[in-house]
Homo-oligomer: A and B are copies of this chain.
């Protein structure tokens, strides 16, 4: 999935290295019918996700991936190559929409843009980056838009502190820095 060695070639970015308008492009992933069905059998067993014949008579008029599958593949692309932030993309939430479904054979790619940066007041060793990630298919059609708030360490925080903040502190940060 994606370009397995792309991450190694990218420099990891800290909060201080980011700026609004900065863009990133992920590798690609081709999603096939078996993957769509396997994910859906486990997590979203509805006819339009697990049965190509039955799917023809639904509003999707054919087999489509669960939106949560599109979200999961997007995350893989972001982790591997699409969002080279230090510590990895750690989000506390966001807005998600699926303007179009993902269909078998679609080749997905994620384009991300930094929208806003906000240093944390309570935790000077990190900041919150708001990032918009559009997942597109091979025709350039947007299948998912995700606007996420990510926790990104500052350069000074490169070495993990012994009093590493808890996840609750992270969430507090995002909610009220």
Q: Which residues of A contact B (CB under 8 A)?
A: 39, 42-47, 57-61, 64, 66-68, 71-73, 75-76, 79-80, 87-101, 145, 151, 160, 164-171
Contacts and interface: CB of A to CB of B under 8 A. Distances in A.
A73 B43 contact: yes
A90 B59 contact: yes
B59 A165 contact: yes
A151 B60 CA distance: 12
A96 B93 CA distance: 5
Nearest to A126: B59
Contact of A100 (B57, B64, B167): B167
15 contacts: A42-B72, A44-B75, A44-B79, A45-B76, A45-B79, A46-B88, A47-B88, A60-B167, A64-B167, A67-B91, A68-B75, A93-B98, A94-B97, A96-B96, A98-B171
